Structure 1
Amino acid sequence: MPNVAQEPLLSATAIAKSFGGVQALRGVDFDVIPGEIHALLGQNGAGKSTLVKILNGVHPAGSYTGAVKLDGRPVSFASPADARSNGVGYVPQEIEVLEQLSVAENVFAGHTGLGDGFMVHQRRLEKRAGEIFADLGIGIDPRAYVASLTSAQRHLVMIARAIVMKPRVLMLDEPTASLSGAEVDALFSVLGRLKAQGVAMIYITHRLPEVLAICDRATVLRDGQVTVRIAREDFDAETFIFSMSGQRLQRLFPEHAAPIGAAAALEVRNLTVAGHSGAVHGAKDINLSVAAGEIVGLAGLLGSGRSEILHGIYGRVPAGGEIRVAGEPVAIGSPSDARAAGIALLTEDRKRDGLLFNLPVGANITIGNLSPLARHGVVRGGLERSSILAAMRALNVKASSPQASVSHLSGGNQQKLLFARVLMRAPKVLLLDEPTKGVDAATRHEIYRLVVDLAENGVGFVIVASELEELIGLCDRCLVVADGRIVDEFGRGEGGEDRVLRSVAAAQAERHVRASQVSP
């Protein structure tokens, strides 16, 4: 563990920042020392991301009050490029990639010549990127176009981009939000090596087990202020939760019993989803059923095909096979077909695939749901407003008004906004891809409670989540996906994380055996 008496490498003093009259930070003091992983914790909207964006130059000097020092000297970063040139790296929670460029070009964006003038050495880029990914323990083809990657894979590309710059300070905002256990372990191994090299790291996460596993100190923010600073020897999950929320959560996963004898809400037979270039492998011969009121989880590693199954059912990608909703066969060639059949989807990346930032909060709820609110093709304004307010109250969406900007909402409120949108159609089946990604512990509990309440009212769920604890705790059944196939199934109490990992390992071993048998 680093010596906390050591001089800070990067520090902030009395930082205050507001957005349109809303005070995001109120006199925050924070520092990180060489060779330390310092957790920055707090609920959505507490000010964590605002603070690191100040330390990284996203919010430039002059847009806030207070002082930032690097190596004890005052600094005034005008931009992220300015911060990078001073050895400060940042991996934001939001996906920031160049979709039409290759993975290797994204990793080395801004310095693709690799020291040889303006010439781009493509093969050298690909070789170096491949070495970095091997070091991270992930299998992404450096030659693939980023547009073909999943959200989780794009995030790994961003992490590689930050690490290749060899920063002295590295800030990571929810770096494991979409990663499964194996990818998280590989990332932790890399962070451990960076720590041994004296790199100072600021680690934002809502996953408290990660804080307990790798962090040396923790600072907790609430309502833009520091509530507590906690040394490693005093780490405790309950203390973290109470410091962040001001209240103690009771049971993390609400009790729920799978319905007995309920009719099928969703039946999928021989579903096949074509893969794309890169590490998106698709899915093959998927057979599953979900009873009305049942919560089914899809567990698997990154690239296993779990998300592709959801997208195939929903019509986001071409798929073959048979789908039935409430016993009736449905033809789904597009998301509109799926919605008409009573199927709703919350995608993994709410900012890219869900939210419309050019529309206010209210319009984000009613978009796609205007028909019941209209008469003779004209939306009834009073009915629309009352429907919006009712949805916001039901989901506890915290916004100043239906006219508020979506960009001013916390991640948890943005996620609840999307739930409000899909629930206006009263779906029979709800497909959730990483439903608690980037949300704090209290909001997670709200989402879990919402899922169970909807299930008890007959909605069938299929949930993809990288956190196996979430699937095991929330779902009535878990289906294990590996290489685009379902390789195991177990009910509540019949298995845990170890069973998922063993099933994946067995499927991978079987695949290697088959490959060796057909090799010349």
Structure 2
Amino acid sequence: MSDYLLEMKGIVKEFSGVKALDGIDLKVHPGEVVGLCGENGAGKSTMMKVLSAVYPYGTWDGEILWEGKPLQAASIRETEDAGIVIIHQELMLVPELSVAENIFLGREITNGGFLDYEAMNAEAARLMAELKMSHVNVAMPVSHYSGGVLQLIEIAKALGKNAKLLILDEPSSALSQTETEILLDLIRGLKHRNVACVYISHKLEEIEAIADTVTVIRDGQFIGSAPMSELTIDKIINMMVGRELTEKYPHEEHTIGDVIFEVRHINCYDPLNPQMKKVDDVSFQVRAGEILGIAGLVGAGRTEMASAIFGYYKGPHSLEVYLNGEQISVKDPEAAVKHGICMVPEDRKRHGIVPLLGVGQNITMAVLPRFTQGGLINEAAEFATIRGEIDRMGIKTASPVLAIASLSGGNQQKAVVSKMLLANPRVLILDEPTRGVDVGAKYEIYKLIYELAKQGIAIIMISSEMPEVLGISDRVLVIGEGQLRGDFVNDGTLTQEKILTAALTRRQMAA
């Protein structure tokens, strides 16, 4: 009998003749946490889709041994029955169904031929309590909740399947620091119950905190595997990118000009509960060439605020928008783009891409009239632009016509950024621009942000990663419970502690 719970040997997976995986190995002991690291497009998600039978046996070469025996699964149901459960980077929840219905989707509890909602709600509540999320109403549709809560619902869904091996693909990408600590503590508890985990994350501090072993792949090839005790974050980065990164954040001089963009009195109300305010009378200005960081805890109202500015917020809201001192009307995203206000959204799957369209079509969709003459698209001109953007952004794709959904999350993000840049923005809103992006690609995005600032574009960057906000922002706004709680010049004295204190300190109400 093998000592390993899982062994993947010489795995090869091709797409249109291009090898996404080229002889990959992975070994996991019972109760072990293996950190799986690599740049975007390295093959991490593809590897896990092979393991979980998203890509069934026969569509790839190599061998998988599960508890010492060959695993030749034809479906996800077979791998889940064996005890392998994957939580994908892109959430797999049905918005219209309740939290409990999502958790038990496909394995509903019945009584006398009818759904036993009482039992499902009780068990769902127990699972959410285990994740320190007792306040979540499991009878409410998941559409009522945002980012971090949805990710934890996915994790609760996986826990309910009695996994022997839990695969977590960027599980903390939408979580706050507090929620991430809850997740890491949960994984430590699973280890004590002999549940193994494969933890995929670009946040190497989390890998360092939780992993027993680290396996690194690059360009679809196995680079190495070693105990975390023998590694450092710098060594992992070197293995991932094949070179040393001497600093995480570039520091490039750029000139900050006059105020070119201003929003006044932003108020947003919950779409499902119009009595609940999500953004409470926030006003601010941005100067030409300025990088304005917006920090705050998950659920503080940052994304709602950005959506309202871009004309996309679905609930009741009001605000005044000024560009170069003149008030403008931004009723929808099309109007925003025409005024030169562009946005890279937080949830690229729902709001940033059209999954079944090609990579190139996604890049040019916001400026398609530019390539249209007499009702016909100049395909040569469009293709030349697409090729240029793929090269400029370093998007890894086998072909510009490949469906964008087949790309890694980070490469999808690069395509969304490219789409907005083609619109020649004067104001660019970046909502979590490096979410799900590897350390090397992050550095390139930061350099791009500085380059845009040098061109005089006003940058508004929302990020849940406070080191990132401090690393590249000229000024930082802090949002807490929908209110503006701080406006700080990032002059070298600003710290994470100051930002967090501001986020947690309630605004004093006038007497």
* CA distance in 2 between partners of 1:309 and 1:192 (Å): 36
* CA distance in 1 between partners of 2:419 and 2:54 (Å): 31
Contact 2:366 2:420 in 1 (8 A): no
Task: Name the counterpart of 2:405.
Answer: 407
* CA distance in 2 between partners of 1:277 and 1:166 (Å): 34
- Give the gaps of 5 or more residues in structure 1: 515-520
- Give the gaps of 5 or more residues in structure 2: none
How far apart are 1:376 and its partner, in Å? 4.1
Task: Name the counterpart of 1:80.
Answer: 76
How far apart are 1:370 and its partner, in Å? 2.0
Task: Name the counterpart of 1:448.
Answer: 446
Task: Name the counterpart of 1:495.
Answer: 494
Is 1:263 the counterpart of 2:258? The answer is yes
Task: Name the counterpart of 1:518.
Answer: none
Contact 1:148 1:278 in 2 (8 A): no
TM alignment of 1:283-294, pairs within 5 A: 283-294=279-290
For residue 126 of structure 1, the aligned residue among 117, 121, 124 is 121
How far apart are 1:257 and its partner, in Å? 5.2
Contact 1:41 1:219 in 2 (8 A): yes
How far apart are 1:451 and its partner, in Å? 0.6
How far apart are 1:204 and its partner, in Å? 0.5
TM alignment of 1:236-251, pairs within 5 A: 236-251=232-247
Task: Name the counterpart of 1:475.
Answer: 473
1:11 and 1:498, CA in 2 relative to 1: closer, same or farther beyond 3 A? same
Task: Name the counterpart of 2:321.
Answer: 323
1:330 and 1:235, CA in 2 relative to 1: closer, same or farther beyond 3 A? same
* CA distance in 1 between partners of 2:505 and 2:238 (Å): 41
Contact 1:95 1:151 in 2 (8 A): no
* CA distance in 2 between partners of 1:256 and 1:394 (Å): 19
Q: Which letter maps to 1:273?
A: C
* CA distance in 1 between partners of 2:136 and 2:449 (Å): 33
Mean alpha-carbon deviation: is it higher for 397-406 or for 63-72?
Answer: 397-406
* CA distance in 1 between partners of 2:273 and 2:124 (Å): 14
Contact 1:144 1:277 in 2 (8 A): no
Is 1:339 the counterpart of 2:337? The answer is yes
- Listed one character per residue, the Cα deviations across residues 176-210 of structure 1 (whole Å, up to 9, x for unaligned) are 11111111011111111111111100000111111
Contact 1:258 1:476 in 2 (8 A): no
Superposition TM-score, scaled by structure 1 size: 0.91
Task: Name the counterpart of 1:517.
Answer: none
TM alignment of 1:340-489, pairs within 5 A: 340-489=338-487
Mean alpha-carbon deviation: is it higher for 378-387 or for 175-184?
Answer: 378-387
Contact 1:274 1:319 in 2 (8 A): yes
Instruction: For residue 74 of structure 2, give the secondary structure of its aligned residue in structure 1.
Output: coil
Instruction: For residue 69 of structure 1, give the secondary structure of its aligned residue in structure 2.
Output: strand
How far apart are 1:273 and its partner, in Å? 1.1
Q: Which letter maps to 2:475?
A: R
Instruction: For residue 358 of structure 1, give the secondary structure of its aligned residue in structure 2.
Output: coil
How far apart are 1:292 and its partner, in Å? 1.1
Is 1:185 the counterpart of 2:184? The answer is no
1:237 and 1:339, CA in 2 relative to 1: closer, same or farther beyond 3 A? same
* CA distance in 2 between partners of 1:133 and 1:495 (Å): 36
Contact 1:269 1:322 in 2 (8 A): yes
How far apart are 1:175 and its partner, in Å? 0.3
* CA distance in 1 between partners of 2:139 and 2:495 (Å): 36
Contact 1:266 1:326 in 2 (8 A): yes
Q: Which letter maps to 1:326?
A: N
Contact 2:18 2:398 in 1 (8 A): no
How far apart are 1:506 and its partner, in Å? 2.7
For residue 156 of structure 2, the aligned residue among 156, 160, 166 is 160
Is 1:196 the counterpart of 2:170? The answer is no
1:118 and 1:250, CA in 2 relative to 1: closer, same or farther beyond 3 A? farther
* CA distance in 2 between partners of 1:147 and 1:475 (Å): 32
* CA distance in 1 between partners of 2:113 and 2:78 (Å): 21
- Listed one character per residue, the Cα deviations across residues 466-515 of structure 1 (whole Å, up to 9, x for unaligned) are 2221111121122221211122232212322222322233339x89xx9x
Contact 2:148 2:176 in 1 (8 A): no
Instruction: For residue 442 of structure 2, give the secondary structure of its aligned residue in structure 1.
Output: helix
* CA distance in 2 between partners of 1:162 and 1:321 (Å): 41
Contact 1:107 1:157 in 2 (8 A): yes
- Listed one character per residue, the Cα deviations across residues 101-134 of structure 1 (whole Å, up to 9, x for unaligned) are 0112111222331x64543233443343233223
RMSD: 2.3
- Listed one character per residue, the Cα deviations across residues 198-225 of structure 1 (whole Å, up to 9, x for unaligned) are 1100000111111111111000011222
Instruction: For residue 191 of structure 1, give the secondary structure of its aligned residue in structure 2.
Output: helix
Mean alpha-carbon deviation: is it higher for 443-452 or for 230-239?
Answer: 230-239
* CA distance in 2 between partners of 1:237 and 1:117 (Å): 55
Superposition TM-score, scaled by structure 2 size: 0.93
Contact 2:288 2:453 in 1 (8 A): yes
Is 1:105 the counterpart of 2:101? The answer is yes
- Listed one character per residue, the Cα deviations across residues 245-264 of structure 1 (whole Å, up to 9, x for unaligned) are 1111232111145745x222
- Listed one character per residue, the Cα deviations across residues 293-342 of structure 1 (whole Å, up to 9, x for unaligned) are 11112212221111111101111114202111222211111111111121
Is 1:272 the counterpart of 2:271? The answer is no
* CA distance in 2 between partners of 1:320 and 1:278 (Å): 16
Contact 2:20 2:43 in 1 (8 A): yes
Q: Which letter maps to 2:268?
A: V
- Listed one character per residue, the Cα deviations across residues 261-307 of structure 1 (whole Å, up to 9, x for unaligned) are x2223211110111134999621111111111111122122211111
Mean alpha-carbon deviation: is it higher for 231-240 or for 131-140?
Answer: 131-140
Q: Which letter maps to 2:124?
A: A
* CA distance in 2 between partners of 1:402 and 1:29 (Å): 30
* CA distance in 1 between partners of 2:71 and 2:115 (Å): 33
Contact 2:366 2:423 in 1 (8 A): no
Task: Name the counterpart of 2:46.
Answer: 50
How far apart are 1:168 and its partner, in Å? 1.1
How far apart are 1:22 and its partner, in Å? 1.1
1:483 and 1:383, CA in 2 relative to 1: closer, same or farther beyond 3 A? same
Task: Name the counterpart of 2:64.
Answer: 68
Is 1:306 the counterpart of 2:305? The answer is no
1:488 and 1:217, CA in 2 relative to 1: closer, same or farther beyond 3 A? same
Contact 1:45 1:223 in 2 (8 A): yes
How far apart are 1:19 and its partner, in Å? 1.5
Q: Which letter maps to 1:42?
A: G
Instruction: For residue 176 of structure 1, give the secondary structure of its aligned residue in structure 2.
Output: coil
1:440 and 1:118, CA in 2 relative to 1: closer, same or farther beyond 3 A? farther
Q: Which letter maps to 2:243?
A: Q
Q: How many residues align?
A: 505
Q: Which letter maps to 2:199?
A: Y
Q: Which letter maps to 1:503?
A: A
Q: Which letter maps to 1:82?
A: E
How far apart are 1:400 and its partner, in Å? 4.1
* CA distance in 1 between partners of 2:19 and 2:390 (Å): 23
Instruction: Give the fraction of aligned pairs with identical amino acids, expressed as a percent.
Output: 34
Contact 2:2 2:68 in 1 (8 A): no
Instruction: For residue 506 of structure 2, give the secondary structure of its aligned residue in structure 1.
Output: helix
